[in-house]
Structure formats: structure tokens, C-alpha cells
Structure 1
Amino acid sequence: MMELPKWIFDVMLCVSAWSSTFAFVLLFKKIYPGQSIIRFVKDKFNSKLKFSVILTVVMIQALIFLIILFLVSKNSEVDSIITISSSWMLIYFFFRNLFAGPLGEELGWRGFAQIELQKRHTPLMASIIIGFWWGMWHLPIWFTSGLMGLDLIKYILFFMIALISIKIVMTAFYNLNKNLVIPIIIHQLFNFFIGLIDGNLLDLIMYNAILYFVVAVFFIIINPKNVLYGQKETNFRLQPLKGQGD
């Protein structure tokens, strides 16, 4: 079987990552008749970014990365457990991940689906629902992992736990800042860090699932500013455009 050149695979990966946003853009006028998609997108980035939120996000994910790095290094027999060997490759890998995931997915999943579900459910329940379907959306990855049998079942289980957990974390921080940059950062660091470590795939997804699950449970328990549940009324509906509804 002929293998595709890596750059073609990367382009295809980017296109597939943007599919949810492409679908949302095509359906926008039916979902929000009379609304402007440009304004909709601007609204998602309109809130002033809070340095404390960004710093907390980066610190949590960096800590998870270091813990996983330590765990993998304890069981690794190779000289280096980092997959990137040069600064240029690191830069390429960073931006490839950015365009092949967070930038393409977050407007559709978080910018639209999360907000719509939060009109009918608590943010926590909305996160679980979206996390499940977000995981199912990655189904092709499961069957290209090279795993089979019980290992594949374990991989799928840990994969779903990891994505639902990180979705809860995304929601908590997004609702603290109301800027789509926050889930983009979380999504990017998750993908970027897991791709940096040269380890057993099943172990990597298991470590991520466990650690992000712990973080998610922590936020569910403390529920800062009622960002996951407990608000009497959560209203994320778009305001009418000027001149509408007058």
C-alpha cells in the first residue's frame, strides 16, 4: 500500500480538523437567521483575557506533562523520550498541531455547541455531552492507532475519559474568562505535550486520562464561581444586532 507524503497527510489532518467549523459556517444562517457570523466570531474573542486564567492553565498542563515525562522516563530504555530533535521541528510541530486541531475545532465545539447546550443544561452536563461526541468524532484515530483487541478497548476507554475530562476543564476556564482563546490554549497544549513524548501510546493516553480526570474532579468539587453548576440562570444567547428587535 502506497504511503502518502507527510505534508499531504498534514494538510488532510488540518482539513479534517476544520470540518466542524466548516459545517457550522455553512449552517450559520439557518441556526442564527439575521445574525452576522463575523460578529459571532468576534464575540467569542471579545472578553479581555485574564492573565491569572492563562497562567493557571499553562501551569496545570505543564505539570501534567512533567509528571507523564517522569513516568515514561522511568520505564523507558531509550536515550531520549522527546520526539523532537531540533528547534525548527519543534516550531513546525507546534503550529501543525495548532492548525490541525484547536484553531479548527474550537469555534464549532466550544464556540457554538457548548454555548447552545448551556442554554438547556448545566455547563458540567453540557461538557460531558460534548466530550462524549467530541471523542466519538475522533473515532478514525482509534482504528489507525495500530492497537487491537483488549489494548484497543483500553485505548478507547482512556481516550474518552481524557477527552471528557479535558472538556470539563476547558468549560471551567472558558466560563471564568469567556474568551475562546482559553480552550484553544488548553486544546493546543494537550495535543502538543502528548506528541512530544516518545512512549507507548496506550501508556501515554492512560496517564493523560488519569491526570486530567483528577483535575476535572477537582474543578467539579470546588466549582469556582459556579462555572460548572449552581447558577440560577445561564444566558449565553446572542444579543440582537443593532436595528433588530426595535
Structure 2
Amino acid sequence: MKREKNLKRPIVSFILLTNIIFWPLFLLVGAASLLGFPSVVFDILFIISAWSSTIAFFILFKRIYPEQRFIHFVKEKFNNKIKLSVAIIAIMIQVLIFGIIVLIVASNTNGTESIYTVSSFGMLIYFFFKTLCSGPLGEELGWRGFAQNELQKKYSPLKSSIIIGFWWGLWHLPIWFTTGLTGIELIKYIVFFMIAIITTKIMMTAFYNLNQNLIIPIIIHQFFNFFIGIINGNLIDLIMYSAILYGIVAVILIVINPKKVLYK
């Protein structure tokens, strides 16, 4: 059997294929919304589209790691024992950020509207698991487990985080145009979104490098999406607050633990 040649630029190929897969899948999500399909159909299609990076990585896997088995690679990313201190600190940081944003939003409302987007415990649980099954579980293997680790073989964790964070943020481009924002409002949203994504990515990298288990970035990704999704506030304001607060966290992590962030 003829052996396939290794990809010369695996990360570039991964990013391109991820976008090629994501765009038509996301168009299906949009079509489901426009045609008035039940919300559960919309949610399922949205979750599937979020897995485009994992699908792309699976397709390219044998060209990138010809001597490895995909299932073995995945298991390796979860092999290391979870350090509870790392997981708890990451969660506590995000709970603090969530609390600060809630206080800001609450101070800006007149008290007649709920500051939360969910109105029952059942809806909260559904939203939690819908969020978990999309981005956190669907994106981390490709973007963090493969792309971040590969880039760190050449660059520092910080530089790798900025590069991957930029392309990861840009991958969300179709979603930006479903916000209903236009003009300067859309530009502000995109700028804050990219800052929030890159700074959150730096946090993911710092904590992942402390534990080397994909559960850690999955947790951080989950709480970022979940918390911002349940706050009933102005979208631009919410993403701006997130960009500022996660930016502060990123700077603090660089200052207190530069070996895990700045250097190869």
C-alpha cells in the first residue's frame, strides 16, 4: 500500500479545512432558523457545526501523524491526572469574572428586567449541556490538542496563543453577522470579540501547560461560553467586559508565571 506523505504545513491545512467544513454547516444552521425548524433541530445543527475543527483534524490526522492512531492520540490528551488546584483556580477566576459582569449589568438596569436569559432551572441545565456539547467539546481537540501543541514546538506559549487565538477568533466570522449589528457597532463587537478570544486563549494555554490535560481548556471554554450566554445584557457591553477582565487575567498570568507563558 502506498504510504501518504506528511503534510508540509499541517496547521495551515487544519485551519483551512476547518473553515471549509464550518461554512456550509453554518449555512445549514442559518437555513434551519430561516425556515422555522424546531429549536432542537437548530441546536443540533449548531452543535455539529462547532465540531468542524475536530472533523478537519480527524480527516488530516494520518497525513500529520502517520505512525499514530487517532484514538490513541485523543486518549493521550486526557491521560494526565487532573490537578484539582489548577481546575479550581481556573473556575474561581471565571466565577469572579462572571460575578463582576453581573454586578455591572445589574447596576445598569432599572430592576424591571431579569439580568439572566434563563428563567428556570431546567432551561439552565439544558443550556449548560448544549453549550458543553458545542464549542468546549467540539473545538478543543483540534485548536488546543493539536494546533496549540504543534505551534509551541516552534514558538513560545504566548506567541502560539496569540497566533492560534487570532485564527480561532477569525473562524467565528460567520457568527458575527448573525448578531444583527451593523456599521460601527459591528466593528466594536468584532474588536472586543477578538480581544476576548485571544486573552481567553492565553488563559487556556497557561493553565493547560500546568496540567497537560484537555479537560482544563474544556472547562475554561465552557464557563466562558456558559456565563456570557446566561447574562441578559447588551451584547457589545458583555463582550467588552469579558475582553477587559480576561485581558487583566492574561496579564497577571504572564507576570506571576512567565515560564509557562513567555518562553519556549
Aligned to 1:20: 53
Structure 1 counterpart of 2:179: 145
1:114-193 alignment, distance < 5 Å: 114-193=148-227
Q: Structure 1 counterpart of 2:190, which letter?
A: I
1:234 aligned partner? none
Instruction: Please give the alpha-carbon distance, in whole angstroms, between the structure 2 residues aligned to 1:171 and 1:230.
Output: 12
- Per the alignment, residue 5 of structure 1 pairs with 38
C-alpha offsets along residues 88-143 of structure 1, whole Å, 9 cap, x if unaligned?
A: 11110000000111000000000000000001100110000000000000001111
After the TM superposition, list the runs of 4 or more consecutive aligned residues in structure 1 that deviate by more than 4 angstroms: none
Partner of 1:94: 128
Q: CA deviation at 1:84?
A: 1.2
Residue 251 of structure 2 is aligned to residue 217 of structure 1: yes
Q: How many angstroms does 1:39 deviate by? A: 1.1
Q: Secondary structure at the match of 1:38?
A: helix
Q: Structure 1: which amino acid aligns with 2:121?
A: S
Counterpart among 89, 103, 112 of residue 70 in structure 1? 103
Instruction: Tell me, in whole angstroms, the C-alpha distance in 1 between the residues paired with 2:72 and 2:236.
Output: 42
**SS across alignment from 1:146:** coil
Name which of structure 1's ranges 157-166 and 138-147 shifts more when overlaid on structure 2. 138-147
Fraction of identical pairs, as percent:
64
- What amino acid does structure 1 have at the position aligned with 2:138? G
Q: Which amino acid aligns with 1:109?
A: W
**Could you tell me the TM-score, scaled by structure 2's length?**
0.85
Query: Post-superposition shift, 1:6?
Result: 1.2
Q: How does 1:200-211 map to 2 (within 5 A)?
A: 200-211=234-245
Which of residues 39, 54, 63 in structure 1 aligns to 2:87? Answer: 54
Unaligned ranges ≥5, structure 1: 232-246
Contact 2:157 2:263 in 1 (8 A): no
- Per the TM alignment, residue 217 of structure 1 is displaced from its structure 2 partner at its CA by 1.0
SS of equivalent residue, structure 2 residue 208? helix
Q: SS at the partner of 2:163?
A: helix
Instruction: Identify the structure with bigger relative contact order (alpha carbons < 8 Å, sequence gap 6+).
Output: 1
More helix by share: 2
Aligned CA RMSD, in angstroms, stands at: 1.0
Deviations 1:1-38 (A, max 9, x none): 53332112111111111010001011111100021111
TM-score (norm 1): 0.91
Which residue number in structure 2 is paired with residue 107 of structure 1? 141
Structure 1 counterpart of 2:48, one-letter code: V
Distance 2:35 2:53 in 1: 29
Q: Greater CA deviation, 31-40 or 56-65?
A: 31-40
Cα deviation 1:136-191 (Å, max 9, x = unaligned) = 00001111111111110000000000000000000000000000000000000000
Partner Cα distance (1:79, 1:111) in 2: 41
Following superposition, the deviation at residue 229 of structure 1 comes to 2.2
Where does residue 34 of structure 1 map in the other structure? 67
